[in-house]
Amino acid sequence: MAVIHQTYVRPTKLELLTPWLPTRPWYHGSPEPELTKAGGFRLDDPEGEVGIEFMVVTDGKGAYLVPLTYRAAPLPGAEHALVGTMDHGVLGPRWAYDGCHDPVLTAGLAALIEGRVEAQAQSVSHTPDREVARSCADTARVPALGTPTDTAEATEFAAPDGPTLRLHRVLTPGSTAPEDALGQVTDAWTQPDGTRVRALFAALRPS
Protein backbone atom coordinates (compact mmCIF):
# COMPACT_ATOMS: atom_id res chain seq x y z
CA MET A 1 0.00 0.00 0.00
CA ALA A 2 1.01 3.61 -0.59
CA VAL A 3 3.51 5.13 1.85
CA ILE A 4 2.98 8.83 2.50
CA HIS A 5 6.17 10.62 3.52
CA GLN A 6 5.72 13.53 5.92
CA THR A 7 8.26 15.86 4.34
CA TYR A 8 8.55 18.91 2.12
CA VAL A 9 7.89 19.13 -1.62
CA ARG A 10 9.26 22.16 -3.49
CA PRO A 11 7.52 23.63 -5.33
CA THR A 12 4.27 22.37 -3.84
CA LYS A 13 1.74 20.53 -5.97
CA LEU A 14 -0.60 23.52 -5.91
CA GLU A 15 2.23 25.80 -7.00
CA LEU A 16 2.82 23.51 -9.99
CA LEU A 17 -0.87 23.41 -10.85
CA THR A 18 -1.49 27.16 -10.62
CA PRO A 19 0.08 28.04 -14.02
CA TRP A 20 -0.75 24.67 -15.61
CA LEU A 21 -4.46 24.43 -14.89
CA PRO A 22 -5.50 27.54 -16.92
CA THR A 23 -3.92 25.94 -20.01
CA ARG A 24 -6.41 23.05 -19.94
CA PRO A 25 -9.51 23.18 -22.19
CA TRP A 26 -11.72 21.92 -19.34
CA TYR A 27 -10.68 24.64 -16.87
CA HIS A 28 -13.08 27.58 -16.81
CA GLY A 29 -11.76 29.69 -13.96
CA SER A 30 -9.34 32.56 -13.47
CA PRO A 31 -6.08 32.73 -15.47
CA GLU A 32 -4.34 33.16 -12.11
CA PRO A 33 -6.31 30.88 -9.80
CA GLU A 34 -5.96 30.60 -6.04
CA LEU A 35 -6.17 26.85 -5.60
CA THR A 36 -7.08 24.77 -2.58
CA LYS A 37 -6.62 21.03 -2.24
CA ALA A 38 -10.12 19.76 -1.46
CA GLY A 39 -9.94 15.97 -1.62
CA GLY A 40 -9.01 12.97 -3.67
CA PHE A 41 -7.43 9.55 -3.28
CA ARG A 42 -4.41 7.51 -4.31
CA LEU A 43 -3.79 4.21 -6.07
CA ASP A 44 -0.89 1.84 -5.60
CA ASP A 45 1.56 1.13 -8.40
CA PRO A 46 2.08 -2.67 -8.38
CA GLU A 47 5.77 -2.06 -9.06
CA GLY A 48 6.08 0.48 -6.27
CA GLU A 49 7.81 3.01 -8.52
CA VAL A 50 5.18 5.58 -9.55
CA GLY A 51 3.06 7.73 -7.25
CA ILE A 52 -0.57 7.86 -8.40
CA GLU A 53 -2.93 10.54 -7.09
CA PHE A 54 -6.40 11.72 -8.07
CA MET A 55 -6.51 15.23 -6.61
CA VAL A 56 -9.53 17.51 -6.32
CA VAL A 57 -8.74 21.22 -6.33
CA THR A 58 -11.07 24.18 -6.01
CA ASP A 59 -10.55 27.77 -7.13
CA GLY A 60 -13.32 29.31 -5.03
CA LYS A 61 -15.97 28.72 -7.69
CA GLY A 62 -15.49 25.33 -9.30
CA ALA A 63 -14.00 21.95 -8.42
CA TYR A 64 -11.67 20.06 -10.75
CA LEU A 65 -10.32 16.52 -10.83
CA VAL A 66 -6.59 16.38 -11.56
CA PRO A 67 -5.05 12.89 -11.88
CA LEU A 68 -1.29 13.08 -11.34
CA THR A 69 1.64 10.69 -11.43
CA TYR A 70 5.00 11.25 -9.77
CA ARG A 71 8.12 9.63 -11.22
CA ALA A 72 11.80 9.49 -10.34
CA ALA A 73 12.78 10.05 -14.00
CA PRO A 74 11.12 11.50 -17.10
CA LEU A 75 8.47 9.37 -18.82
CA PRO A 76 9.65 8.86 -22.43
CA GLY A 77 7.33 10.38 -25.01
CA ALA A 78 5.26 12.27 -22.44
CA GLU A 79 6.89 15.69 -22.60
CA HIS A 80 3.53 17.22 -23.58
CA ALA A 81 1.96 15.87 -20.38
CA LEU A 82 4.60 17.17 -17.96
CA VAL A 83 3.06 19.40 -15.28
CA GLY A 84 6.42 20.23 -13.71
CA THR A 85 9.28 18.97 -11.56
CA MET A 86 9.59 18.97 -7.78
CA ASP A 87 12.17 18.27 -5.11
CA HIS A 88 10.87 15.73 -2.60
CA GLY A 89 12.50 15.73 0.83
CA VAL A 90 12.80 11.92 0.92
CA LEU A 91 12.57 10.73 -2.70
CA GLY A 92 14.56 13.51 -4.37
CA PRO A 93 13.67 14.91 -7.81
CA ARG A 94 10.17 14.03 -9.03
CA TRP A 95 8.57 14.53 -12.43
CA ALA A 96 4.83 15.25 -12.15
CA TYR A 97 2.61 14.30 -15.11
CA ASP A 98 -0.99 14.64 -16.15
CA GLY A 99 -1.85 11.08 -15.22
CA CYS A 100 -4.25 10.58 -18.11
CA HIS A 101 -1.14 10.28 -20.30
CA ASP A 102 0.65 7.85 -17.97
CA PRO A 103 -0.03 4.13 -18.58
CA VAL A 104 0.55 3.30 -14.92
CA LEU A 105 -2.33 5.54 -13.84
CA THR A 106 -4.70 4.46 -16.61
CA ALA A 107 -4.08 0.79 -15.78
CA GLY A 108 -4.75 1.55 -12.13
CA LEU A 109 -7.98 3.37 -12.95
CA ALA A 110 -9.21 0.40 -15.00
CA ALA A 111 -8.37 -1.94 -12.12
CA LEU A 112 -10.24 0.31 -9.67
CA ILE A 113 -13.42 0.37 -11.75
CA GLU A 114 -13.32 -3.41 -12.18
CA GLY A 115 -12.77 -3.90 -8.44
CA ARG A 116 -9.32 -5.44 -8.67
CA VAL A 117 -7.71 -2.76 -6.46
CA GLU A 118 -8.82 -0.46 -3.63
CA ALA A 119 -8.55 3.31 -3.51
CA GLN A 120 -6.08 4.47 -0.87
CA ALA A 121 -6.29 7.45 1.48
CA GLN A 122 -4.67 10.55 0.06
CA SER A 123 -2.64 11.57 3.10
CA VAL A 124 -2.40 8.46 5.34
CA SER A 125 -0.19 5.44 4.69
CA HIS A 126 -1.57 1.89 4.40
CA THR A 127 -5.19 3.03 4.67
CA PRO A 128 -8.00 2.31 2.17
CA ASP A 129 -10.24 5.27 1.35
CA ARG A 130 -13.76 4.10 2.22
CA GLU A 131 -15.41 7.20 0.73
CA VAL A 132 -14.48 6.11 -2.78
CA ALA A 133 -17.24 3.99 -4.33
CA ARG A 134 -17.00 2.02 -7.54
CA SER A 135 -19.14 -0.43 -9.46
CA CYS A 136 -18.88 -2.41 -12.66
CA ALA A 137 -21.33 -4.62 -14.53
CA ASP A 138 -20.51 -8.32 -14.29
CA THR A 139 -19.92 -8.58 -18.02
CA ALA A 140 -18.09 -5.25 -18.44
CA ARG A 141 -14.37 -4.85 -18.83
CA VAL A 142 -12.53 -1.57 -19.10
CA PRO A 143 -10.68 -1.50 -22.43
CA ALA A 144 -6.99 -0.72 -22.70
CA LEU A 145 -6.92 3.04 -22.25
CA GLY A 146 -5.02 4.61 -25.10
CA THR A 147 -4.61 8.23 -26.13
CA PRO A 148 -6.98 10.52 -24.18
CA THR A 149 -9.03 13.33 -25.70
CA ASP A 150 -9.83 16.46 -23.70
CA THR A 151 -13.24 18.09 -24.02
CA ALA A 152 -14.72 21.16 -22.35
CA GLU A 153 -15.72 19.12 -19.31
CA ALA A 154 -13.84 15.84 -19.31
CA THR A 155 -11.10 13.58 -20.62
CA GLU A 156 -12.32 10.63 -22.68
CA PHE A 157 -10.75 7.31 -23.64
CA ALA A 158 -12.50 5.53 -26.49
CA ALA A 159 -11.79 2.02 -27.74
CA PRO A 160 -12.72 0.87 -31.28
CA ASP A 161 -16.04 -1.00 -31.08
CA GLY A 162 -15.84 -0.82 -27.31
CA PRO A 163 -17.00 1.30 -24.38
CA THR A 164 -15.83 4.84 -23.66
CA LEU A 165 -14.37 5.85 -20.31
CA ARG A 166 -15.20 9.45 -19.40
CA LEU A 167 -13.14 11.02 -16.62
CA HIS A 168 -14.95 14.09 -15.33
CA ARG A 169 -12.54 16.99 -14.90
CA VAL A 170 -15.21 19.51 -13.92
CA LEU A 171 -16.98 18.09 -10.87
CA THR A 172 -20.68 18.73 -10.28
CA PRO A 173 -21.95 18.11 -6.72
CA GLY A 174 -24.62 15.44 -6.68
CA SER A 175 -23.91 14.15 -10.18
CA THR A 176 -24.50 10.45 -10.82
CA ALA A 177 -23.73 8.00 -13.59
CA PRO A 178 -26.13 7.74 -16.56
CA GLU A 179 -28.49 4.78 -16.61
CA ASP A 180 -26.54 3.01 -19.34
CA ALA A 181 -23.22 3.19 -17.47
CA LEU A 182 -21.29 -0.08 -17.35
CA GLY A 183 -19.06 1.10 -14.50
CA GLN A 184 -18.36 4.14 -12.37
CA VAL A 185 -16.30 5.80 -9.64
CA THR A 186 -17.67 8.38 -7.20
CA ASP A 187 -16.02 10.24 -4.34
CA ALA A 188 -16.46 13.22 -2.02
CA TRP A 189 -14.57 16.46 -1.47
CA THR A 190 -14.85 19.59 0.68
CA GLN A 191 -16.25 22.78 -0.85
CA PRO A 192 -14.86 26.23 0.06
CA ASP A 193 -17.73 26.76 2.52
CA GLY A 194 -16.76 23.58 4.37
CA THR A 195 -19.60 21.36 3.19
CA ARG A 196 -18.82 17.83 2.07
CA VAL A 197 -20.27 16.90 -1.32
CA ARG A 198 -20.14 13.89 -3.58
CA ALA A 199 -20.03 13.48 -7.36
CA LEU A 200 -19.30 11.23 -10.28
CA PHE A 201 -15.58 11.05 -11.07
CA ALA A 202 -15.57 8.51 -13.89
CA ALA A 203 -18.10 6.56 -15.95
CA LEU A 204 -17.72 3.68 -18.40
CA ARG A 205 -20.37 3.88 -21.14
CA PRO A 206 -21.26 1.79 -24.18
CA SER A 207 -19.96 3.04 -27.53
pLDDT digits (tens, 9 = 90+) for 96-131: 999 999 999 999 999 999 999 999 999 887 899 999
Cβ atoms of 153 and 168 within 8 Å: the answer is: yes
Q: Is residue 13 part of a domain?
A: yes
Q: Is residue 172 part of a domain?
A: yes
Task: Supply the mean pLDDT for the chain.
Answer: 92
List, in sequence order, the alpha helices (H) in the chain: 13-20, 103-114
pLDDT at 7: 65
pLDDT at 8: 59
Q: Is the pTM of this model over 0.95?
A: no
Exposure string for 102-122, b = 16+ CB within 10 A, e = fewer = bebbbbbbbbbbbeebbbbbb
Say if residue 168 is exposed, middle or buried (CB neighbours under 10 Å; 0-12, 13-18, 19+): buried
Q: Is the pLDDT of residue 133 over 80?
A: yes
Q: Is residue 4 part of a domain?
A: no
Q: Is residue 163 part of a domain?
A: yes
pLDDT (mean) for 152-174: 92
Q: State the pLDDT confidence band at 4, using cuts at 50, 70 and 90.
A: low
Q: Structurally, how many domains does the chain consist of? A: 1
Q: Is residue 1 part of a domain?
A: no
Q: Is residue 43 part of a domain?
A: yes
pLDDT (mean) for 74-83: 96
pLDDT (mean) for 54-58: 98
Domain that holds residue 42: 9-205
Instruction: Give the list of residues 6+ apart from residue 147 with CB closer than 8 angstroms, or none.
Output: 157
pLDDT at 140: 76
Cβ atoms of 141 and 183 within 8 Å: the answer is: no
Q: Is residue 3 part of a domain?
A: no
